[in-house]
């Protein structure tokens, strides 16, 4: 019984552990660490996005202000440049030689003489225009003069307030000064002198002073720029940058670089439509943002690592005693009442441990008291069940012994009395053996190859010789004996079969009906199934739920109540069980199932079994 109980406890522990394994979720300290890491990651990401957004907004505002300053700087530079040109032209216009040259009236003479004045001025554009507005002498350092340039000069004469002259891909800042013979108010107009410098100088000065890129556009074409050639083409393709179609500042993408642009419309001061585009690159600001991003990410990573390490330490401090307490509960649930209970941790954990320790001690005390009461109750039931039969057997032995002492008995009478004494002795022996087997079930199981049919025949032979089997029709049905090999303790299995058959033979029966008991053996792939069928009155309802408990016997004239208990224990030790399959007046079926201990095709085991019954080799084979 001790080994059987240990095996039952082991199965219960395995079942509990399997159930806990199926139900276990995320461990608490892992959940805490992951939650903390997620919080730090979310806060770091949100901070990074917020910082980037605020920085971009601040940078865009700063660049817009810088662009405004750049436009003002351009206007100031242009005003200074135009003022210098006007002073220079004023000096040229006062030269008597230039006035004398303009009075010659000969174009070739004027052209020859104008070369000296152009070289003297050192400007990119120099022109002398007669009073009618016709350009007599035109000199440029860039492209050669043509009719287009002369028309632009005529436009400049017609609109003295204009200072920008566009010739093809060249843009000049010009100053127009009339030449008078005499005073400017009363003198005779001799013509005009025009001096101009290329805008490239101004563009480069703007770029050097403001750190911005400057581009002049006319009719969608770039006439001057500090941008690279690919960026100039991209900027020219931006039709929104045409004068009048663009707000004061906007964002444009030129190649892989993003710029903020400010547009100044100069068409009113130019001979053709003209606009100035000043651009500030976001690239330096983006580099600064990336550096700040890396700093924020490094700070977040440092916080994540340090926070994770700290949370691991704290969570283990909190959850480790909880885990040990949980293990203590599981161990107590499977019968280990000595498992250590943690006595450290937080105040709440210590209180919980103390409460569980008290609860465990109380349960153990009540369990010991319950076991003691059950033990006493079992002893009482055993004494009550055994005493009557034992007194009956002893009384029969005592009475018959007195009769044997008489000298007046015949030999036949002595033989009958001796048979009664022998029956009483056998009954007492069976009763004591049942009690011993019940107390030592599972203690010494010796397994060996057996044929189930052989064990059945032995059990049937024993039962047929039993007094309780008188007037009982006992039959057996099974198939091929060679297919009924098992590895088991033959004596134990034989004992279990005898108990099942005797239980059937001792069933109540109607006086007018003959009792029949049938044993059916069925060989399956991994187990043997033995069904014992009788035609008695059936199992009473009052004992059906406690049928396999010890010392339970209702409606029988004989027996200790251990037969079915022993049969079930033996079946359990052989990997099976005994069940009440069905019961009703006229038919009761008990079924015993035992594991075969090997597969039918296992030749190493099957070779020890004699197909005709019995053993070829009497040696133990472990299952």
Q: How does pLDDT run across 421-464, given as a tens digit for each residue?
A: 776 676 677 666 666 555 555 445 678 898 999 999 988 988 88
Mean pLDDT of 75-81: 82
Phi-psi sector, 191: left (phi>0), alpha (psi -120 to 50), beta: left
What is the model's pLDDT at position 617? Answer: 32
DSSP letter string, 474-506:
EEEE-S-GGG-EEEE-HHHHHHHHHHHHHHHHT
Tens-digit pLDDT profile for residues 311-348:
888 777 777 887 888 888 888 777 777 778 888 777 87
What is the model's pLDDT at position 444? Answer: 54
What is the model's pLDDT at position 455? Answer: 92
> Please, which pLDDT band fits residue 250 given cuts at 50, 70 and 90?
confident
Q: Indicate if the pLDDT at residue 485 is higher than 80.
A: yes
Mean pLDDT of 29-43: 82
Distance, CA of 563 to CA of 208 (rounded, Å)? 113
Record the tokens describing residue 324, joined without a space. Answer: 């040990």
Distance, CA of 125 to CA of 111 (rounded, Å)? 14
Record the tokens describing residue 17, joined without a space. Answer: 């552990």
Those residues whose C-beta lies under 8 Å from the C-beta of residue 232, and which sit 6 or more positions away, are 215, 222, 225
- State the first-to-last Cα distance of the chain, in angstroms, to the nearest integer: 20
Distance, CA of 587 to CA of 535 (rounded, Å)? 4
Distance, CA of 464 to CA of 504 (rounded, Å)? 12
What is the model's pLDDT at position 604? Answer: 45
Percent of the chain with pLDDT strictly greater than 70: 78
What is the model's pLDDT at position 519? Answer: 94
What's the burial of 46, exposed, middle or buried (CB within 10 Å: 0-12/13-18/19+)?
exposed
What is the 3-class SS of 354-374, one letter each residue?
HHHHHHHHHHHHHHHHHHHHH
**Do 444 and 2 meet the contact criterion of CB atoms below 8 Å apart?**
no
Tens-digit pLDDT profile for residues 192-237:
898 888 887 777 777 777 777 888 888 778 888 888 878 877 777 7
- Which region among 64-73, 121-130, 157-166, 271-280 has the lowest average model confidence (pLDDT)? 64-73
> Please, which pLDDT band fits residue 3 given cuts at 50, 70 and 90?
very low
Q: Which of 235, 233, 231 is nearest to 277 (CA)?
A: 235
What is the model's pLDDT at position 618? Answer: 28
Phi-psi sector, 613: left (phi>0), alpha (psi -120 to 50), beta: left
Phi-psi sector, 176: left (phi>0), alpha (psi -120 to 50), beta: beta
> Please, which pLDDT band fits residue 509 given cuts at 50, 70 and 90?
low
What is the model's pLDDT at position 477? Answer: 92
Burial per residue of 435-462, b for 16 or more beta-carbon CB atoms within 10 angstroms, e otherwise: bebbeebbeeeebbbbbbbbbbbbbbeb
What is the model's pLDDT at position 530? Answer: 93
What's the burial of 164, exposed, middle or buried (CB within 10 Å: 0-12/13-18/19+)?
buried
What is the model's pLDDT at position 506? Answer: 79
Mean pLDDT of 128-138: 86
How many residues in the chain?
623
CB-hemisphere CA count at 13 Å for 585? 3
What is the model's pLDDT at position 36? Answer: 81
**Do 450 and 610 meet the contact criterion of CB atoms below 8 Å apart?**
no
Please list the residues that pair with 224 across neighbouring strands: 216
What's the chain's average pLDDT? 76
Q: Which of 504, 551, 565 is nearest to 379 (CA)?
A: 551
What is the model's pLDDT at position 510? Answer: 57
What is the model's pLDDT at position 25? Answer: 64
If you compute the radius of gyration of the chain from its CA atoms, what whole number of angstroms results? 60
- List the domains of the chain with CATH numbers: 55-284 (3.30.450.220), 346-439 (1.10.287.130), 445-606 (3.30.565.10)
């Amino acid at each position: 019984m001790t080994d059987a109980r240990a095996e039952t406890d082991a199965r219960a522990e395995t079942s509990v552990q399997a159930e806990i394994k199926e139900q276990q979720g995320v461990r608490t300290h892992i959940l805490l660490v992951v939650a903390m890491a997620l919080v730090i990651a979310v806060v770091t990401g949100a901070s990074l996005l917020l910082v980037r957004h605020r920085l971009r907004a601040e940078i865009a505002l700063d660049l817009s202000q810088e662009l405004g300053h750049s436009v003002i700087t351009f206007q100031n530079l242009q005003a200074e440049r135009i003022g210098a040109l006007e002073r220079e032209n004023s000096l040229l216009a006062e030269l008597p030689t230039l006035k004398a040259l303009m009075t010659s009236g000969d174009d070739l003479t004027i052209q020859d003489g104008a070369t000296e004045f152009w070289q003297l001025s050192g400007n990119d554009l120099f022109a002398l225009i007669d009073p009618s507005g016709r350009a007599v002498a035109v000199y440029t350092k860039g492209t050669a003069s043509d009719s287009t340039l002369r028309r632009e000069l005529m436009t400049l004469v017609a609109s003295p307030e204009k200072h920008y002259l566009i010739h093809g891909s060249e843009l000049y800042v010009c100053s127009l000064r009339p030449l008078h013979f005499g005073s400017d108010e009363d003198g005779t107009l001799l013509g005009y002198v025009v001096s101009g410098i290329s805008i490239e100088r101004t563009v480069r000065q703007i770029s050097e002073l403001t750190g911005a890129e400057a581009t002049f556009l006319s009719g969608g074409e770039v006439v001057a720029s500090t941008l690279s050639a690919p960026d100039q083409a991209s900027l020219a393709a931006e039709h929104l940058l045409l004068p009048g179609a663009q707000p004061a500042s906007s964002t444009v993408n030129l190649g892989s670089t993003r710029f903020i642009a400010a547009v100044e419309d100069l068409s009113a001061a130019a001979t053709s439509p003209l606009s100035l585009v000043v651009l500030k690159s976001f690239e330096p600001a983006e580099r600064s943002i990336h550096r700040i991003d890396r700093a924020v990410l490094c700070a977040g990573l440092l916080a994540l690592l340090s926070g994770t390490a700290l949370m691991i330490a704290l969570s283990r401090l909190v959850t480790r005693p909880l885990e040990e307490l949980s293990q203590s509960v599981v161990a107590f649930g499977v019968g280990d009442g000595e498992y250590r209970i943690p006595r450290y941790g937080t105040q709440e954990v210590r209180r919980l441990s103390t409460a569980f320790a008290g609860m465990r001690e109380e349960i153990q005390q009540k369990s010991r008291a319950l076991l003691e009461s059950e033990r006493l109750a079992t002893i009482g039931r055993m004494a009550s069940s055994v005493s009557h039969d034992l007194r009956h057997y002893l009384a029969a032995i005592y009475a018959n012994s007195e009769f044997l002492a008489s000298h007046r008995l015949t030999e036949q009478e002595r033989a009958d009395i001796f048979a009664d004494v022998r029956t009483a002795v056998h009954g007492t022996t069976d009763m004591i053996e049942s009690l011993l087997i019940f107390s030592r079930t599972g203690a010494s199981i010796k397994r060996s190859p057996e044929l189930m049919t052989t064990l059945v025949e032995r059990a049937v032979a024993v039962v047929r010789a039993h007094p309780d089997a008188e007037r009982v029709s006992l039959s057996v049905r099974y198939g091929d004996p060679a297919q009924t090999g098992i590895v088991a303790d033959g004596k134990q299995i034989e004992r279990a079969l005898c108990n099942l058959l005797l239980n059937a033979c001792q069933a109540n029966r109607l006086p007018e009906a003959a009792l029949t008991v049938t044993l059916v053996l069925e060989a399956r792939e991994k187990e043997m199934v033995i069904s014992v069928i009788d035609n008695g009155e059936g199992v009473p309802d009052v004992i059906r739920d406690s049928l396999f408990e010890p010392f339970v016997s209702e409606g029988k004239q004989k027996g200790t109540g251990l037969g079915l208990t022993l049969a079930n224990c033996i079946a359990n030790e052989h990997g099976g069980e005994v069940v009440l399959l069905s019961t009703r007046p006229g038919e009761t079926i008990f079924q015993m199932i035992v594991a075969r201990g090997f597969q039918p095709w296992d030749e190493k085991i099957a070779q020890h079994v004699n197909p005709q019954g019995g053993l070829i080799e009497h040696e133990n084979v472990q299952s």
